[in-house]
Structure 1
Amino acid sequence: MSASPAGRPMRADAARNRARVLEAAEAVFAENGTSASTEDVARRAGVGIATVFRHFPTKEALIEAVFAGLMRRFADEADALCAAEDPAEAFFSFLTRIVDVSATKNAYTEALTAAGVDVDDVLAEGRQELPRALGALLDRAQRAGAVRADIGVPELIVLIVGTSRAAERATPEIQSRVLEVVFDGLRR
Protein backbone atom coordinates (compact mmCIF):
# COMPACT_ATOMS: atom_id res chain seq x y z
CA MET A 1 0.00 0.00 0.00
CA SER A 2 1.29 3.48 -0.85
CA ALA A 3 1.93 6.05 1.81
CA SER A 4 0.56 9.57 1.90
CA PRO A 5 2.94 12.54 2.04
CA ALA A 6 2.45 12.51 5.83
CA GLY A 7 3.67 8.89 5.91
CA ARG A 8 0.27 7.36 6.71
CA PRO A 9 -1.03 4.49 4.59
CA MET A 10 -2.98 5.87 1.64
CA ARG A 11 -6.68 5.06 1.30
CA ALA A 12 -7.45 2.67 -1.56
CA ASP A 13 -9.34 5.31 -3.55
CA ALA A 14 -6.51 7.82 -3.07
CA ALA A 15 -3.97 5.24 -4.24
CA ARG A 16 -6.09 4.52 -7.33
CA ASN A 17 -6.37 8.24 -8.09
CA ARG A 18 -2.61 8.68 -7.70
CA ALA A 19 -1.96 5.80 -10.09
CA ARG A 20 -4.46 7.23 -12.61
CA VAL A 21 -2.79 10.64 -12.41
CA LEU A 22 0.66 9.11 -13.01
CA GLU A 23 -0.59 7.04 -15.94
CA ALA A 24 -2.35 10.05 -17.45
CA ALA A 25 0.67 12.30 -16.92
CA GLU A 26 2.95 9.87 -18.70
CA ALA A 27 0.57 9.71 -21.68
CA VAL A 28 0.03 13.49 -21.80
CA PHE A 29 3.76 14.25 -21.52
CA ALA A 30 4.55 11.65 -24.21
CA GLU A 31 2.01 13.23 -26.57
CA ASN A 32 2.54 16.93 -25.81
CA GLY A 33 5.89 17.21 -24.06
CA THR A 34 6.61 18.19 -20.48
CA SER A 35 5.20 21.66 -21.09
CA ALA A 36 1.69 20.15 -21.19
CA SER A 37 -0.57 21.49 -18.48
CA THR A 38 -1.55 19.77 -15.26
CA GLU A 39 -5.15 20.51 -16.27
CA ASP A 40 -4.65 18.24 -19.29
CA VAL A 41 -3.32 15.56 -16.95
CA ALA A 42 -6.30 15.91 -14.62
CA ARG A 43 -8.74 15.76 -17.53
CA ARG A 44 -7.06 12.61 -18.94
CA ALA A 45 -7.07 10.98 -15.48
CA GLY A 46 -10.73 11.84 -14.94
CA VAL A 47 -10.00 13.72 -11.71
CA GLY A 48 -10.09 17.32 -10.60
CA ILE A 49 -6.99 19.51 -10.63
CA ALA A 50 -7.06 19.56 -6.82
CA THR A 51 -6.56 15.78 -6.82
CA VAL A 52 -3.47 16.17 -8.99
CA PHE A 53 -2.00 18.78 -6.64
CA ARG A 54 -2.97 16.78 -3.55
CA HIS A 55 -0.65 14.01 -4.72
CA PHE A 56 1.91 16.19 -6.51
CA PRO A 57 2.18 19.70 -5.05
CA THR A 58 4.03 21.01 -8.11
CA LYS A 59 4.24 20.10 -11.75
CA GLU A 60 7.92 19.31 -11.17
CA ALA A 61 6.93 16.80 -8.48
CA LEU A 62 4.61 15.15 -11.01
CA ILE A 63 7.35 15.03 -13.67
CA GLU A 64 9.75 13.61 -11.06
CA ALA A 65 7.33 10.82 -10.17
CA VAL A 66 6.66 9.95 -13.81
CA PHE A 67 10.39 9.91 -14.62
CA ALA A 68 11.28 7.83 -11.56
CA GLY A 69 8.51 5.38 -12.48
CA LEU A 70 9.85 5.09 -16.02
CA MET A 71 13.33 4.28 -14.74
CA ARG A 72 11.94 1.70 -12.28
CA ARG A 73 10.03 0.05 -15.12
CA PHE A 74 13.24 -0.13 -17.17
CA ALA A 75 14.92 -2.02 -14.34
CA ASP A 76 11.88 -4.30 -13.96
CA GLU A 77 11.85 -4.92 -17.72
CA ALA A 78 15.56 -5.83 -17.68
CA ASP A 79 14.97 -8.16 -14.72
CA ALA A 80 12.11 -9.88 -16.57
CA LEU A 81 14.26 -10.26 -19.69
CA CYS A 82 16.85 -12.14 -17.63
CA ALA A 83 14.48 -15.11 -17.79
CA ALA A 84 14.16 -14.94 -21.59
CA GLU A 85 15.16 -18.03 -23.51
CA ASP A 86 17.54 -16.18 -25.84
CA PRO A 87 20.04 -14.03 -23.86
CA ALA A 88 21.30 -12.24 -26.99
CA GLU A 89 17.80 -11.29 -28.16
CA ALA A 90 16.90 -10.12 -24.64
CA PHE A 91 20.04 -7.99 -24.37
CA PHE A 92 19.81 -6.32 -27.78
CA SER A 93 16.04 -5.76 -27.62
CA PHE A 94 16.44 -4.06 -24.24
CA LEU A 95 19.14 -1.75 -25.58
CA THR A 96 16.90 -0.92 -28.54
CA ARG A 97 14.04 -0.10 -26.16
CA ILE A 98 16.21 2.27 -24.14
CA VAL A 99 17.32 4.11 -27.26
CA ASP A 100 13.73 4.24 -28.58
CA VAL A 101 12.53 6.16 -25.51
CA SER A 102 15.63 8.32 -25.17
CA ALA A 103 13.94 11.49 -26.37
CA THR A 104 11.25 11.15 -23.70
CA LYS A 105 13.81 10.35 -21.00
CA ASN A 106 15.96 13.31 -22.01
CA ALA A 107 12.95 15.64 -22.10
CA TYR A 108 12.18 14.74 -18.47
CA THR A 109 15.79 15.36 -17.50
CA GLU A 110 15.85 18.74 -19.24
CA ALA A 111 12.52 19.85 -17.73
CA LEU A 112 13.60 18.93 -14.22
CA THR A 113 17.04 20.50 -14.61
CA ALA A 114 15.45 23.72 -15.91
CA ALA A 115 13.22 23.77 -12.82
CA GLY A 116 16.28 23.48 -10.58
CA VAL A 117 15.62 19.89 -9.57
CA ASP A 118 18.62 17.66 -8.87
CA VAL A 119 17.97 14.82 -11.30
CA ASP A 120 20.53 12.63 -9.52
CA ASP A 121 18.34 12.74 -6.39
CA VAL A 122 15.21 11.89 -8.39
CA LEU A 123 16.91 8.91 -10.00
CA ALA A 124 18.94 7.71 -7.01
CA GLU A 125 17.06 4.41 -6.73
CA GLY A 126 16.97 3.84 -10.49
CA ARG A 127 20.67 4.63 -10.83
CA GLN A 128 21.35 1.61 -8.64
CA GLU A 129 18.68 -0.76 -9.95
CA LEU A 130 19.06 -0.17 -13.68
CA PRO A 131 22.84 -0.81 -13.83
CA ARG A 132 22.37 -3.94 -11.72
CA ALA A 133 19.65 -5.24 -14.04
CA LEU A 134 21.61 -4.20 -17.12
CA GLY A 135 24.63 -6.03 -15.72
CA ALA A 136 22.59 -9.21 -15.34
CA LEU A 137 21.44 -8.98 -18.97
CA LEU A 138 24.99 -8.28 -20.12
CA ASP A 139 26.38 -11.20 -18.12
CA ARG A 140 23.86 -13.63 -19.62
CA ALA A 141 24.60 -12.41 -23.15
CA GLN A 142 28.35 -12.70 -22.55
CA ARG A 143 28.05 -16.21 -21.09
CA ALA A 144 26.01 -17.20 -24.16
CA GLY A 145 28.85 -15.95 -26.36
CA ALA A 146 26.75 -13.20 -27.93
CA VAL A 147 28.59 -10.17 -26.50
CA ARG A 148 32.31 -9.46 -26.17
CA ALA A 149 33.77 -10.30 -22.78
CA ASP A 150 35.75 -7.04 -22.50
CA ILE A 151 32.63 -4.85 -22.15
CA GLY A 152 31.41 -3.94 -18.68
CA VAL A 153 28.40 -2.03 -17.40
CA PRO A 154 30.24 1.34 -17.23
CA GLU A 155 31.22 1.14 -20.92
CA LEU A 156 27.75 -0.06 -21.84
CA ILE A 157 26.09 2.86 -20.06
CA VAL A 158 28.33 5.40 -21.83
CA LEU A 159 27.55 3.70 -25.13
CA ILE A 160 23.80 3.79 -24.44
CA VAL A 161 23.88 7.47 -23.40
CA GLY A 162 25.85 8.49 -26.49
CA THR A 163 23.70 6.44 -28.85
CA SER A 164 20.52 7.75 -27.22
CA ARG A 165 21.59 11.37 -27.60
CA ALA A 166 22.54 10.84 -31.23
CA ALA A 167 19.29 8.96 -31.94
CA GLU A 168 17.25 12.02 -30.99
CA ARG A 169 18.60 13.79 -34.06
CA ALA A 170 18.27 10.90 -36.50
CA THR A 171 15.53 9.58 -38.71
CA PRO A 172 14.17 6.16 -37.70
CA GLU A 173 16.11 4.59 -40.58
CA ILE A 174 19.41 6.17 -39.51
CA GLN A 175 18.72 5.28 -35.86
CA SER A 176 18.17 1.66 -36.85
CA ARG A 177 21.38 1.61 -38.89
CA VAL A 178 23.39 3.19 -36.07
CA LEU A 179 22.07 0.56 -33.66
CA GLU A 180 23.17 -2.16 -36.09
CA VAL A 181 26.69 -0.70 -36.12
CA VAL A 182 26.78 -0.40 -32.31
CA PHE A 183 25.46 -3.94 -31.88
CA ASP A 184 28.04 -5.27 -34.33
CA GLY A 185 30.71 -3.63 -32.15
CA LEU A 186 29.32 -5.33 -29.04
CA ARG A 187 29.16 -8.79 -30.56
CA ARG A 188 32.02 -11.30 -30.21
Structure 2
Amino acid sequence: MPTPTLPRATPNTRSDARRNRALVLAAAHRALAEGGVTVSLAEIARRAGVGAGTVYRHFPTKTALLEAVMQQRIDRLTGLAHRLRDAPDAGRAFFAFCTEVITSTHRNQAVCDMVSNDGWPRELVRDAGARFHSALDDLLIAAQRQGAVRADLTLADVLALFTGCVAIQRLTSDHELARPAALVLDSMRARPAARVTKDRNRFIPRDETPSRNETAASHCPICASPIRSTGTGRPARYCSAACRQKAHRRRRAAAPGPC
Protein backbone atom coordinates (compact mmCIF):
# COMPACT_ATOMS: atom_id res chain seq x y z
CA MET A 1 0.00 0.00 0.00
CA PRO A 2 1.59 3.32 -1.00
CA THR A 3 2.48 5.79 1.76
CA PRO A 4 0.20 8.85 1.65
CA THR A 5 1.98 12.12 1.02
CA LEU A 6 1.12 15.47 2.58
CA PRO A 7 0.26 18.35 0.24
CA ARG A 8 3.19 20.67 -0.27
CA ALA A 9 2.90 24.39 0.37
CA THR A 10 2.93 26.20 -2.93
CA PRO A 11 4.22 29.76 -3.49
CA ASN A 12 0.61 30.89 -3.84
CA THR A 13 -0.22 29.32 -0.45
CA ARG A 14 2.63 31.20 1.21
CA SER A 15 1.59 34.41 -0.54
CA ASP A 16 -1.99 34.01 0.70
CA ALA A 17 -0.76 33.39 4.23
CA ARG A 18 1.38 36.54 4.17
CA ARG A 19 -1.52 38.56 2.79
CA ASN A 20 -3.92 37.25 5.45
CA ARG A 21 -1.43 38.01 8.21
CA ALA A 22 -1.04 41.56 6.91
CA LEU A 23 -4.83 41.96 6.78
CA VAL A 24 -5.17 40.76 10.38
CA LEU A 25 -2.44 43.12 11.62
CA ALA A 26 -3.94 46.10 9.80
CA ALA A 27 -7.39 45.32 11.24
CA ALA A 28 -5.85 44.87 14.71
CA HIS A 29 -4.15 48.29 14.51
CA ARG A 30 -7.47 49.97 13.73
CA ALA A 31 -9.52 48.01 16.25
CA LEU A 32 -7.04 48.49 19.10
CA ALA A 33 -6.74 52.21 18.39
CA GLU A 34 -10.53 52.57 18.53
CA GLY A 35 -11.56 50.09 21.21
CA GLY A 36 -8.43 49.33 23.22
CA VAL A 37 -7.15 45.92 24.27
CA THR A 38 -10.63 44.62 25.16
CA VAL A 39 -11.47 44.11 21.46
CA SER A 40 -11.97 40.42 20.67
CA LEU A 41 -10.10 38.34 18.13
CA ALA A 42 -13.45 37.56 16.50
CA GLU A 43 -14.03 41.29 15.93
CA ILE A 44 -10.55 41.64 14.46
CA ALA A 45 -11.23 38.69 12.13
CA ARG A 46 -14.49 40.31 11.02
CA ARG A 47 -12.71 43.59 10.24
CA ALA A 48 -9.96 41.76 8.37
CA GLY A 49 -12.48 39.83 6.28
CA VAL A 50 -11.06 36.45 7.28
CA GLY A 51 -12.25 33.57 9.43
CA ALA A 52 -11.46 33.32 13.12
CA GLY A 53 -9.39 30.21 12.39
CA THR A 54 -7.11 32.28 10.16
CA VAL A 55 -6.44 34.70 12.99
CA TYR A 56 -5.65 31.87 15.44
CA ARG A 57 -3.30 30.17 12.97
CA HIS A 58 -1.14 33.30 12.83
CA PHE A 59 -1.68 34.48 16.42
CA PRO A 60 -2.64 31.67 18.84
CA THR A 61 -3.33 34.16 21.65
CA LYS A 62 -4.32 37.79 21.94
CA THR A 63 -0.97 38.44 23.64
CA ALA A 64 0.84 37.18 20.54
CA LEU A 65 -1.25 39.52 18.38
CA LEU A 66 -0.60 42.51 20.65
CA GLU A 67 3.12 41.80 20.59
CA ALA A 68 3.10 41.66 16.78
CA VAL A 69 1.15 44.93 16.60
CA MET A 70 3.64 46.65 18.91
CA GLN A 71 6.66 45.28 17.03
CA GLN A 72 5.24 46.42 13.69
CA ARG A 73 4.51 49.92 15.01
CA ILE A 74 7.98 50.31 16.55
CA ASP A 75 9.66 48.97 13.42
CA ARG A 76 7.67 51.45 11.30
CA LEU A 77 9.03 54.33 13.39
CA THR A 78 12.54 52.90 13.22
CA GLY A 79 12.29 52.71 9.44
CA LEU A 80 11.22 56.36 9.34
CA ALA A 81 14.22 57.32 11.49
CA HIS A 82 16.55 55.49 9.11
CA ARG A 83 15.09 57.34 6.13
CA LEU A 84 15.58 60.68 7.89
CA ARG A 85 19.11 59.93 9.10
CA ASP A 86 20.89 61.43 6.08
CA ALA A 87 18.57 64.42 5.62
CA PRO A 88 20.48 67.65 4.83
CA ASP A 89 18.66 69.50 7.61
CA ALA A 90 19.28 67.19 10.57
CA GLY A 91 17.43 69.46 13.02
CA ARG A 92 14.29 69.54 10.94
CA ALA A 93 14.45 65.76 10.48
CA PHE A 94 14.85 65.19 14.23
CA PHE A 95 11.86 67.33 15.20
CA ALA A 96 9.71 65.87 12.41
CA PHE A 97 10.44 62.41 13.79
CA CYS A 98 9.66 63.48 17.37
CA THR A 99 6.31 64.87 16.19
CA GLU A 100 5.43 61.62 14.43
CA VAL A 101 6.30 59.53 17.49
CA ILE A 102 4.11 61.65 19.76
CA THR A 103 1.09 62.01 17.48
CA SER A 104 1.04 58.30 16.57
CA THR A 105 1.78 56.85 20.01
CA HIS A 106 -1.15 58.44 21.85
CA ARG A 107 -3.58 56.68 19.48
CA ASN A 108 -2.07 53.35 20.56
CA GLN A 109 -1.85 54.16 24.26
CA ALA A 110 -3.98 51.20 25.35
CA VAL A 111 -1.50 48.77 23.84
CA CYS A 112 1.42 50.72 25.34
CA ASP A 113 -0.22 50.56 28.78
CA MET A 114 -0.54 46.79 28.52
CA VAL A 115 3.09 46.53 27.45
CA SER A 116 4.09 48.47 30.57
CA ASN A 117 1.80 46.71 33.06
CA ASP A 118 1.75 43.05 32.03
CA GLY A 119 5.32 41.87 32.45
CA TRP A 120 6.52 43.18 29.09
CA PRO A 121 8.48 43.95 27.05
CA ARG A 122 8.93 40.45 25.67
CA GLU A 123 11.96 39.57 23.58
CA LEU A 124 10.42 40.48 20.22
CA VAL A 125 9.31 43.92 21.37
CA ARG A 126 12.50 44.46 23.37
CA ASP A 127 14.64 43.87 20.27
CA ALA A 128 12.43 46.25 18.27
CA GLY A 129 12.85 48.83 21.05
CA ALA A 130 16.62 48.51 20.95
CA ARG A 131 16.62 49.19 17.20
CA PHE A 132 14.35 52.18 17.78
CA HIS A 133 16.69 53.61 20.44
CA SER A 134 19.72 53.26 18.17
CA ALA A 135 17.98 54.97 15.23
CA LEU A 136 16.70 57.79 17.44
CA ASP A 137 20.18 58.32 18.92
CA ASP A 138 21.60 58.67 15.40
CA LEU A 139 19.07 61.43 14.63
CA LEU A 140 19.81 63.17 17.93
CA ILE A 141 23.58 63.17 17.40
CA ALA A 142 23.25 64.46 13.83
CA ALA A 143 20.98 67.31 14.97
CA GLN A 144 23.40 68.20 17.78
CA ARG A 145 26.33 68.28 15.37
CA GLN A 146 24.47 70.83 13.24
CA GLY A 147 23.73 72.92 16.33
CA ALA A 148 19.95 72.49 16.06
CA VAL A 149 19.50 70.61 19.35
CA ARG A 150 21.00 71.52 22.71
CA ALA A 151 24.28 69.71 23.28
CA ASP A 152 23.47 68.44 26.78
CA LEU A 153 20.38 66.50 25.68
CA THR A 154 20.69 62.70 26.01
CA LEU A 155 18.71 59.82 24.54
CA ALA A 156 17.18 59.14 27.97
CA ASP A 157 16.07 62.80 28.15
CA VAL A 158 14.33 62.54 24.76
CA LEU A 159 12.52 59.32 25.70
CA ALA A 160 11.33 60.85 28.98
CA LEU A 161 10.06 63.93 27.12
CA PHE A 162 8.22 61.62 24.71
CA THR A 163 6.37 60.10 27.67
CA GLY A 164 5.26 63.52 28.89
CA CYS A 165 4.26 64.73 25.42
CA VAL A 166 2.19 61.60 24.75
CA ALA A 167 0.33 62.21 28.02
CA ILE A 168 -0.33 65.79 26.90
CA GLN A 169 -1.42 64.63 23.46
CA ARG A 170 -4.03 62.31 24.98
CA LEU A 171 -5.93 65.37 26.24
CA THR A 172 -6.87 66.26 22.66
CA SER A 173 -8.47 64.23 19.89
CA ASP A 174 -6.69 66.29 17.24
CA HIS A 175 -4.17 64.42 15.07
CA GLU A 176 -1.98 67.55 14.98
CA LEU A 177 0.67 68.11 17.63
CA ALA A 178 -0.92 69.82 20.65
CA ARG A 179 0.49 73.25 21.48
CA PRO A 180 1.73 72.28 24.99
CA ALA A 181 3.54 69.27 23.48
CA ALA A 182 5.05 71.55 20.83
CA LEU A 183 6.35 73.81 23.60
CA VAL A 184 8.02 70.81 25.25
CA LEU A 185 9.70 69.88 21.97
CA ASP A 186 10.79 73.49 21.53
CA SER A 187 12.71 73.23 24.80
CA MET A 188 15.08 70.78 23.11
CA ARG A 189 16.25 73.34 20.56
CA ALA A 190 19.67 74.92 20.92
CA ARG A 191 19.56 78.56 22.00
CA PRO A 192 22.15 81.27 21.35
CA ALA A 193 24.06 82.14 24.48
CA ALA A 194 22.52 85.14 26.21
CA ARG A 195 24.83 87.85 27.49
CA VAL A 196 24.11 88.56 31.13
CA THR A 197 25.14 91.86 32.66
CA LYS A 198 24.71 93.03 36.22
CA ASP A 199 25.18 96.64 37.27
CA ARG A 200 27.41 96.34 40.35
CA ASN A 201 27.52 100.12 40.68
CA ARG A 202 25.62 102.94 39.09
CA PHE A 203 28.13 103.63 36.34
CA ILE A 204 30.14 100.53 35.31
CA PRO A 205 28.20 97.55 33.88
CA ARG A 206 30.01 94.23 34.17
CA ASP A 207 29.68 91.29 31.77
CA GLU A 208 29.30 88.12 33.83
CA THR A 209 28.57 85.66 31.01
CA PRO A 210 30.40 82.42 31.90
CA SER A 211 32.96 80.98 29.52
CA ARG A 212 31.56 78.28 27.23
CA ASN A 213 34.69 76.22 27.82
CA GLU A 214 33.58 75.49 31.38
CA THR A 215 31.36 72.67 30.10
CA ALA A 216 34.27 70.73 28.59
CA ALA A 217 35.27 67.62 30.56
CA SER A 218 38.95 67.00 31.26
CA HIS A 219 38.67 63.24 31.87
CA CYS A 220 36.64 60.50 30.22
CA PRO A 221 33.62 59.49 32.39
CA ILE A 222 34.06 55.84 31.29
CA CYS A 223 37.78 55.12 31.79
CA ALA A 224 38.96 58.37 33.48
CA SER A 225 41.66 58.89 30.84
CA PRO A 226 42.54 62.51 29.95
CA ILE A 227 40.59 63.92 27.02
CA ARG A 228 42.69 65.67 24.39
CA SER A 229 41.23 68.85 22.97
CA THR A 230 41.15 69.14 19.18
CA GLY A 231 40.77 72.91 19.36
CA THR A 232 37.85 72.88 16.94
CA GLY A 233 34.19 71.82 17.01
CA ARG A 234 32.23 70.68 20.04
CA PRO A 235 34.34 69.60 23.08
CA ALA A 236 34.84 65.83 23.23
CA ARG A 237 32.99 63.98 26.00
CA TYR A 238 34.93 60.71 25.77
CA CYS A 239 38.56 59.82 25.14
CA SER A 240 37.84 57.39 22.29
CA ALA A 241 35.15 55.93 20.07
CA ALA A 242 35.20 52.75 22.17
CA CYS A 243 34.31 54.66 25.35
CA ARG A 244 31.64 56.61 23.52
CA GLN A 245 30.07 53.30 22.36
CA LYS A 246 30.19 51.92 25.93
CA ALA A 247 28.37 55.02 27.19
CA HIS A 248 25.78 54.66 24.42
CA ARG A 249 25.12 51.02 25.39
CA ARG A 250 24.71 51.98 29.05
CA ARG A 251 22.21 54.73 28.19
CA ARG A 252 20.29 52.40 25.92
CA ALA A 253 20.11 49.67 28.57
CA ALA A 254 18.84 52.15 31.17
CA ALA A 255 16.37 53.96 28.90
CA PRO A 256 12.63 53.08 28.73
CA GLY A 257 11.00 51.87 25.49
CA PRO A 258 9.28 54.13 22.95
CA CYS A 259 6.01 53.76 24.82
The TM-score with structure 2 as length reference comes to 0.62
Q: Distance in 1 between matches of 2:31 and 2:51?
A: 16
* Structure 2 partner of 1:26: 29
Q: Distance in 2 between matches of 1:163 and 1:89?
A: 18
Cα pair 2:168 2:178 within 8 Å, conserved: no
CA, structure 1 residues 110+173, in 2 after alignment: closer, same or farther (shift >3 Å)?
closer
Q: Deviations over 1:115-168 (max 9, x none)?
A: x45235452112211111101111121112110111111111111112222332
Matched, 1:163 2:161: no
2:113 to 110, 113, 124: 110
Unpaired runs of at least 5, structure 2: 1-10, 191-259
The code of the aligned residue for 2:163 comes to V
Q: Alignment partner of 1:151: what SS? A: coil
The code of the aligned residue for 1:106 comes to Q
Task: Please list, as runs of the form range in 1=range in 2, the aligned pairs for 1:1-188 lying within 5 A after superposition.
Answer: 11-112=14-115, 116-170=118-172, 172=174, 176-188=178-190
Q: Alignment partner of 2:187: what SS? A: helix
Q: Distance in 2 between matches of 1:174 and 1:135?
A: 24
CA, structure 1 residues 157+113, in 2 after alignment: closer, same or farther (shift >3 Å)?
closer
The code of the aligned residue for 1:169 comes to L
RMSD of aligned alpha carbons: 2.5
CA, structure 1 residues 26+173, in 2 after alignment: closer, same or farther (shift >3 Å)?
closer
Cα pair 2:33 2:108 within 8 Å, conserved: no
Cα pair 2:172 2:178 within 8 Å, conserved: no
Structure with bigger RCO (C-alpha 8 Å, 6+ apart): 1
The code of the aligned residue for 1:73 comes to R
CA, structure 1 residues 173+121, in 2 after alignment: closer, same or farther (shift >3 Å)?
closer
Cα pair 2:21 2:58 within 8 Å, conserved: yes
Task: Return the offset for 1:94.
Answer: 1.0
Is the helix fraction higher in 1 or 2? 1
Q: Distance in 2 between matches of 1:104 and 1:120?
A: 21
Q: Distance in 2 between matches of 1:113 and 1:157?
A: 15
Q: Distance in 2 between matches of 1:18 and 1:51?
A: 8
Q: Distance in 2 between matches of 1:182 and 1:171?
A: 19
Number of residue pairs the alignment of both structures matches: 179
CA, structure 1 residues 31+186, in 2 after alignment: closer, same or farther (shift >3 Å)?
same
Q: Distance in 2 between matches of 1:105 and 1:48?
A: 25
Task: Return the offset for 1:43.
Answer: 1.7
Percentage of identical aligned residues: 37
Cα pair 2:32 2:39 within 8 Å, conserved: yes
User: Which deviates more, 164-173 or 28-37?
Assistant: 164-173
Larger Rg: 2
The code of the aligned residue for 1:59 comes to K
The code of the aligned residue for 1:11 comes to R
Cα pair 2:103 2:176 within 8 Å, conserved: no
User: Which deviates more, 140-149 or 100-109?
Assistant: 100-109
Cα pair 1:102 1:165 within 8 Å, conserved: no
